[in-house]
Structure 1
Amino acid sequence: MDITSVFSPVTLLLCCVISILGLVLIKCVLGWRWSSRSVRTLPGLPRLPLVGSLLHLRSALPLHLFFTQLSRSYGPLFSLYMGSHYTLVVNEVSLAREALLHRGREFAGRPKMVTTALMTRGGKDIAFADYSSLWRSHRRLVHSSFALFGEGSSKLQTIVLEAAENLCSDLQACRGQRVDLCPVLMRAVTNVVCRLVFSSSYRLHDPELQQVMDYNDGIVQTIARGSLLDIFPWLQIFPNKDLAKLKECISIRDKMLSKKLEEHKLTLTPGEPRDLLDALLIGQRDSAGEGDITDDHVLMTAAEAFGAGVETTSTTLLWAIAYLLHHPQVQERLHTELDEYVGRDRPPSLSDRSNLPFLDSVLCEVLRIRPVSPILIPHVAMQDTSLGGHVVPQGTRVVVNMWAIHHDPKHWDEPDSFRPDRFLDATGKKITPPSFLPFGAGPRVCVGESLARMELFLFISRLLQRFRFSTPSASSLPDLRGRYGVVLQPLRYSVTVTPRY
C-alpha cells in the first residue's frame, strides 16, 4: 500500500499539534539537530520537525514506484524521515547486498510498530521480531522443525500435490466457464498451510477453512491500512475501526490456534511429528535451556505460516497466470516442455525440476517483474555502522526497494518486459543473476523460501500439465499494474480453463 495515501493535510496538522505538546517537542527538536549533523553528506528528502518528510511523500504513485522515481534525483541511497524515524532507502543491488549480506548482522534489527506488535504478541515471531539471541534460537527451532517435518522428505510434497489435485478437480468442473482464480487459488494454498501446520484437511465449503481464510484476509487488509498508526503510535488513543478489526481478527486466529496447540500437546508422540506444530513442540522440549522459547513463540510461528505463506504464494500464482494470458507463446512452450519431460500419465514432482528449466525460469521472471514484496520489511541498524560509504547511526531504519533492484536497467535488459529466457544461459540451463533477490538475503532471508518455491513449482506445473488458460471472449487481458497492500496483488481477472486431456 502507498503509505502516503492515508495522509491528508488535516491529519498531518493534527499530528503536529498533538505531538508538539510537552517534552515531545523538546525531544524531537534535539533529535533533529543531532541527526542532521550525523547525516549531512547523504542526499535526502526535506523534513519538518515531528512529521519528518511525510509532506514530501505525497504521490499518486505506489511507494515502491515513487521511491524508484526519487532515486533518479537523489541517487540509489537516500534518506528521509517517517515522522521522527530516520530512514534510508536502498534502490541498488550492491547496496542491498551490503546491508543484507556483508553487514547483515549490523542491519538485522526490526522496528517496533503497533500493528506488528499486536499481530505477533510483542515480536514472538520470526519475520517481525527484533534480532537477538532468543530470535536466533527461535529461527533455529523453525529450521529444524521444517527439517523434521517435510523438507528433504516426501511429506510436504505429498501435501502440496494433493492440494494441487483438488484444485485441478475444482477447475475441471468449471471448464468452458469464466473463472475468477483468486478464491480457488487462495483456498488451495490455505489448505496446504492448514495441512502443514496442524494436519487439518478441508473440503470446499468447510466452515473452519472459511474462518481461517476470513481472519487471515482481515489481518492482511487491516495491517495494510495501519501505516500512520505505526509512525505515530499515540494515535491509538483515538477510535480506529481498522485497529479494532485487526484486534478482532487476531483474537479469532489466536483462539483457534491455541485450541489446536493444546490438542497437539495431548496427542503428541515424541519423534513422530504429524505436522509443523508437533515438530515445533518436539523442538521446543529438546531445546529447553537454550533460550526461553515459549508457547507464544510456537503459536506465532504457526500464525506466520498463514500470514506469510498464503498471501505470497497465491498472489505469485495469480501473477503467473496473468502473464501467461498476455504471453500465450510462453504458455505453449511450457506445455511442450511438460509433455516432453513429464508426460501426462503422472503429476510432476520435485525431481522433475532440473528437467523443466523453462518452467523454473518463468517462475523466476514472475518473481522479478512483480515482486510480492516490492519493499522489504524495514531493517534497523543494531549499532553505528556505514552503508555505501555513509555513516549510519544506530537505530536507523533501512528500507530495501526490491522493485527498483528488480527493474534496474543497469542489470536487467528491458526490465519492464516479461522475458523468462533471461534466467537461462546459452545452453538452456537455469541461471540466477546476482540482482535477483526475491526472498531477501542474509540473516533475515525469508524462512519459508524453500516451501514457497516448492509450492509454486508443484502448483504451476500441475495446472499447466492439465489445463490451457485463455482470456474469456469479450474480456480484456488482466491489468498488470497491480494493487499494493501488504503485498503487490494483481487486480481481479477471469480466465477460461480448457482441459488439455
Structure 2
Amino acid sequence: MNAFDYPVSGVAVIIACCLLLFQRWWRKPHPKFPPGPRGIPLFGMLPFMGTFPARTLKQWAQEKYGPVMSVRLGSEDVVILTNWEVLNQALVKNSARFAGRPYIAIFNAITGDKGVLFRDYSEDWKSQKHFGLRVLREWGLGKKRMEDIVNIEGNYFLEFIRSTIGKPMDLKKYLFNVTGNIISQITWGARYEYDDVIYNGLLDELKLLFGDTEYGRKLFWVYYAPELRYLPGFKRAYNHFLERQYSSVEFMRERIAEHQTNFNRNDIRDFMDAFIFEQRHGTEINKKSFTDEQLVMYGKDMFLAGTETSSSTLAWAFLYLLHYPECLDPIEKEIETAFGINGVPSFSRLDETPYIMAYIQEIMRAKTLVTITLQHKTTDDGYLNEHFIPKNTTVIPCLWGAHMDPEIWPNPEQFDPYRHIDSNGKFVTSDKIVPFSMGQRFCPGEGLAKVEIYMFLIKILQKFKFRAPNKNIPTLDGIHTTMNVPTELNVVFEERY
C-alpha cells in the first residue's frame, strides 16, 4: 500500500465532511420556504445589514426577494415581512399562528419565560396579557384619569424647564425621566425627582439596550445570533447588559416587597396592587400563575415598553421641528386657538388640532421607533403568499418597511404631515401606520403613548420656544439597534411669553 494513501484518504474524508456540513447549512427548511440570502457561516447576513438593518431588509425585498423573504441571521433562517399587506395577513388574519415568541437568549437569561413581552404564546400568556389590558382600562387608559397623571407630570417638567432657561439642556435624557415617571406611577405608584441617582440608574439600563453607541451594535448581533455572546467583544457587551438587568430586577423586587407589606385589598392603588389582589384573592388557577417572579418581569416589561416608546417619539418630534421649522407655525396656531396660553391640553379635543395629530402620525411613520419588531414564532405549519413557513419558524415584522411602501405612501422618504389631512382640513387616522405593531403581540401601552406624546408636545410648546445651541442641529440619522432613537437632542429653551 502506498504511504500516501492514508493521508489522502484522511483529506478526502475531511473534505467530504465539510461539503456535507456546508450542504446542511445551505439547505432551506422546506422547498417552498421563502427565498432570501444566506451569508456566511456563524454570522449569516448580519455583517451585510449595514448601520440601518431595516432599510437593508426593505431593499433586499424590493430588489430581489419580495415582501415575504428569508434571511439567515446567525445560524438560523428567519422570515422577514416587509410591507403592510403581509403584516396584516400574518399578524392579524392569522394572529394565533404568528403569535409565538422564540427563545431569545439575551432576554430569557433574565426573564426565565416570565412577564409578557418576551414570553412564548400560551393560554397562560393570554391570561396575563388580558389581565394587564383590563387593569390599564380600569385606570382609564386614554381617558381623563390618565390625562390627569400626564398633566401633573407635565407641570413638574415645565417647572424644570424654567430652571434651565437660556442654558443647553439634554432634552432626550429628561424625556426619559418624564415618561418613566408616568409608567412608574401606573405600575408601582411612585414618581422620582429628575436627579434621583437610583432611578436614573434604572433609566440608564434602557439607554444601554436601545441607544448605547459602545455596546448597542454588539447587543443587536447577539440578539439575532446568540452564539456570539461567547466571543470576545460580544461577551463583554452581553455580560455588561446582564449586570445592568440584574440590578433592575432587584429594584422591582424591592417595590414588590413594599407592596406586599402595605397591601390593602380595599385600596388598589396601582398595577402591582391589582396583581397582588389576584395573587391572594383570585381563583386557584390565577394563584398558580400570579407569582412574585411573574410580577417582577411584568413590571420590567411595562417599564421598558412604557418609557422608551413615548420618550423617543417625543424626542424625534422636537428634533424634526428643528429640521422642519415650517411645521412649527401651524402647530403653534392650533395650540393658541384650541387651548390659549393657560388652557389644559386634552386628548378629547383632537378634532381641534388636526395638524398636530397629522404631525405626530407622520413622525411615527417617518421615524418608526421599532423598525423591526421583537421576533415572533409560528405556532403551526402554514402558507403565506404561497410560501410554506413551518412551525417554530422565527418571523420578524419590519414595520419600517411597511411605513416606507411607495404604493401606500408616495415619496415615502419625504416628511409631509399634510399627507394625513383630507381636503376638508380634517385629520385622517391611518391603519397602515402601525408603530405599536399589530395582532396579538401589539403593544398594550399604545393608548397611553399617544396621550403622552400629544399632551407633552402641546404643553411644552404652549409655554416655551426652543432652539439648538449655537445652531448645531443634531442629525436625523439616529442610532439603529433594536430601536431607532435620536443620537442626541440638546436644546435651549426660552419663555414664550
Return the TM-score normalized by structure 1.
0.88
The residue type paired with residue 84 of structure 2 is V
Instruction: Specify whether residues 225 and 52 from structure 1 end up closer, same or farther in structure 2 by C-alpha distance, changes over 3 A only.
Output: closer
1:296 corresponds in structure 2 to 293
1:340 corresponds in structure 2 to 337
SS in 1 for 2:169: strand
380-389 vs 269-278, which deviates more?
A: 269-278
Contact 2:375 2:394 survives alignment (8 Å):
yes
Contact 1:368 1:438 survives alignment (8 Å):
yes
Distance between the aligned counterparts of 1:152 and 1:228, measured in 2? 36
1:225 corresponds in structure 2 to 218
CA displacement at 1:470 relative to structure 2: 2.6
Distance between the aligned counterparts of 2:116 and 2:358, measured in 1? 29
CA displacement at 1:462 relative to structure 2: 0.7
CA displacement at 1:30 relative to structure 2: 4.9
CA displacement at 1:209 relative to structure 2: 2.2
SS in 2 for 1:398: strand
Contact 1:223 1:246 survives alignment (8 Å):
no
Distance between the aligned counterparts of 1:158 and 1:332, measured in 2? 27
2:277 corresponds in structure 1 to 282
2:358 corresponds in structure 1 to 361
1:429 corresponds in structure 2 to 426
Contact 2:43 2:225 survives alignment (8 Å):
no
CA displacement at 1:457 relative to structure 2: 1.3
Distance between the aligned counterparts of 2:381 and 2:79, measured in 1? 14
The residue type paired with residue 418 of structure 2 is D
The residue type paired with residue 244 of structure 1 is N
Contact 1:317 1:456 survives alignment (8 Å):
yes
Q: Within 5 Å, give how 1:18-417 maps onto structure 2.
A: 30=24, 33=27, 35-39=29-33, 42-47=34-39, 50-51=41-42, 53-54=44-45, 57-74=47-64, 75-119=66-110, 121-151=111-141, 154-220=144-210, 221=212, 225-237=218-230, 240-284=235-279, 285-290=281-286, 292-417=289-414
Contact 1:219 1:250 survives alignment (8 Å):
no
1:454 corresponds in structure 2 to 451
CA displacement at 1:165 relative to structure 2: 1.1
Distance between the aligned counterparts of 1:67 and 1:349, measured in 2? 39
Instruction: Specify whether residues 455 and 63 from structure 1 end up closer, same or farther in structure 2 by C-alpha distance, changes over 3 A only.
Output: same
The residue type paired with residue 159 of structure 2 is S
Contact 1:92 1:405 survives alignment (8 Å):
yes
CA displacement at 1:493 relative to structure 2: 3.2
423-432 vs 211-220, which deviates more?
A: 211-220
CA displacement at 1:52 relative to structure 2: 6.9
| Runs of 5+ unmatched residues, structure 2 | 1-13
SS in 2 for 1:37: coil
170-179 vs 160-169, which deviates more?
A: 170-179
Per-residue CA shift, 1:201-234, capped at 9, x if unaligned? 2223223322322333345445763344345544
CA displacement at 1:237 relative to structure 2: 5.0
Distance between the aligned counterparts of 2:243 and 2:19, measured in 1? 34
Per-residue CA shift, 1:154-192, capped at 9, x if unaligned? 433222112111111121222233332122212222222
Equivalent pairs, count:
474
Distance between the aligned counterparts of 1:303 and 1:25, measured in 2? 46
The residue type paired with residue 476 of structure 1 is N
Instruction: Specify whether residues 233 and 216 from structure 1 end up closer, same or farther in structure 2 by C-alpha distance, changes over 3 A only.
Output: closer
The residue type paired with residue 255 of structure 1 is E
Report the identity percentage.
26
Per-residue CA shift, 1:454-497, capped at 9, x if unaligned? 1111211111111122334x423331111112311112133232
CA displacement at 1:272 relative to structure 2: 2.5
Picking from 482, 491, 495, the partner of 2:491 is 495
The residue type paired with residue 322 of structure 1 is L
1:11 corresponds in structure 2 to none
* RMSD between superposed Cα atoms in Å: 2.5
Contact 1:163 1:191 survives alignment (8 Å):
yes
Q: Is 1:476 aligned to 2:472, yes or no? A: yes
Contact 1:134 1:292 survives alignment (8 Å):
yes
Mark the structure with the bigger radius of gyration. Answer: 2
97-106 vs 110-119, which deviates more?
A: 110-119
275-284 vs 374-383, which deviates more?
A: 275-284
